[in-house]
Amino acid sequence: MKTNESHPGKDGKSCVRSSEDGRVVLGLSEMAWETAFFGRRFGRLEVDAEGMHDLEADTLDTALGEILSFGDQNGFNLIELELDISWLSLMYLFEDHGFRLVDTKIRFITSKEMTELNNLPEAEGELGFASEDMKEEILALTRRAFAENPAFKSRFSNTRYFSRSDTERYYAAWIENYIGDENTLFAVMKDEGKIVGYLIYPKTGEHEGKPLYKAALMAVAPEHRGRRVYFALRSLIYRSFPEGEIYLDATTQLSNLSAIRNLIKTKKNLDSIKLVFYRRGPGS
């Protein structure tokens, strides 16, 4: 077992390697955006679960302890880990080293052609796309939907790790980032001139050589929930993709059973299920 203890201040990474083939099985790197945004050091623990599985339990336990000790000594306040559900057996090792389950992700990726999407029924309601002059109203709806909504559960609203101010600023940053972005479809719905819902679909890259769009964020005013606002917004977006053929990424939490049932019912393709863990550094 080899340990690379390069300082995060230089390249942001500390690695533990398999002694047999030299590949990285554990890597700790700084999450630069989160560190700058929240004003405390965030790290991501990346794992090669298959490589970890090939190591002896004692060797793996020691290696994980070494890399986390490195993180503690170098001021990492919070370390994030995503673990694919297929490697659930490794969860107990991470829990023994202070990691706590904070969130879940289930991801569906589906190919769509515009000829298919254009056959959707016309969306009803006062629909359009967000513009800069709508930002303050959208931010107010965002606060109601996330920071001020006790029913909303996410790792970014978990008061064990984030203050309410952190939560509000985090989701506001999404709006600031996506409104007016040329690679994002940002649909809004109004009722009597007031914004009552929005849905954001940014282009996040490519999948199998075709554009990939992701359902990033959605909010509906409480008094308009149950009125099919989401489906109207989605219909507008689906009819507005500029490319002829695309992939759609629908990622949600495992607790969102209604959305998962709908995704399965509409024959979306399951891509992955992941568990998200946090580990706090000493004194944080």
| Span 83-128, pLDDT tens digits | 999 999 999 999 999 999 999 999 999 998 755 655 555 556 789 9
Residues 6+ apart with CB under 8 A from 173: 37
Query: What is the average per-residue pLDDT within 144-157?
Result: 91
274 membership: H or E segment, kind and range: strand 270-280
Q: What is the pLDDT of residue 247?
A: 95
Q: What is the pLDDT of residue 6?
A: 32
Q: What is the pLDDT of residue 25?
A: 82
Of the candidates 120, 132, 137, the one whose C-alpha atom is nearest the C-alpha of residue 190 is 137
Higher pLDDT, 51 or 76: 76
3-state secondary structure 112-163: EEHHHHCCCCCCCCEEEECCHHHHHHHHHHHHHHHHCCCCCCCHHHCCCCCC
CA distance 29 to 67: 11
pLDDT higher than threshold 50 for residue 4: no
| Average pLDDT value for the chain | 87
pLDDT higher than threshold 50 for residue 8: no
The CB density around residue 174, as the number of other CB atoms within 10 Å, is 15
Task: Give the pLDDT band of residue 18 (cuts 50, 70, 90).
Answer: low
Query: What is the average per-residue pLDDT within 168-193?
Result: 95
pLDDT higher than threshold 60 for residue 2: no
Q: What is the pLDDT of residues 185-200, one digit of tens each?
A: 999 999 889 999 999 9
Print burial letters for 79-102: b (CB count within 10 Å at least 16), e (below 16): bbbebeeeeeebbeebeebebeeb
11 membership: H or E segment, kind and range: helix 8-11
Q: What is the pLDDT of residue 88?
A: 92
Question: Of all residues in the chain, what percent carry a pLDDT higher than 70?
Answer: 88
| Full set of structural domains in the chain with CATH | 2-98 (no CATH), 109-273 (3.40.630.30)
